[in-house]
Amino acid sequence: MPQMSPLSWWMLFIYFIILLLLFAIMNYYIFFYPSQKTESSSIKIKSMDWKW
């Protein structure tokens, strides 16, 4: 609305930026990847030979 004061626009802008950052940070830290235990015995190397 054009009749709103510029300070109100500024406060709304800051409010939405803070919300955006809050949701981005929450989404980044809430999602847990399953931990992968890498052992030398569990690594299997596939043969890259051509099979004609």
- Determine the Cα–Cα distance for residues 2 and 40; give it in Å rounded to an integer: 66
Residue 23 clears pLDDT 90, i.e. is over it:
yes
At residue 34, the pLDDT reads 73
Which of the two residues, 19 and 42, has the higher pLDDT score? 19
Average pLDDT of the segment spanning 19-37:
84
Residue 42 clears pLDDT 70, i.e. is over it:
no
Closest CA to 16 of 5, 6, 8: 8
The pair of three-digit structure tokens given for residue 11, joined into one six-digit string: 């406060």
What is the distance, to the nearest Å, from the Cα of residue 7 to the centroid of all Cα atoms in its chain? 32
Residue 14: band (very low, low, confident or very high) from pLDDT cuts 50, 70, 90 = very high
- Determine the Cα–Cα distance for residues 2 and 9; give it in Å rounded to an integer: 10
- Determine the Cα–Cα distance for residues 6 and 12; give it in Å rounded to an integer: 10
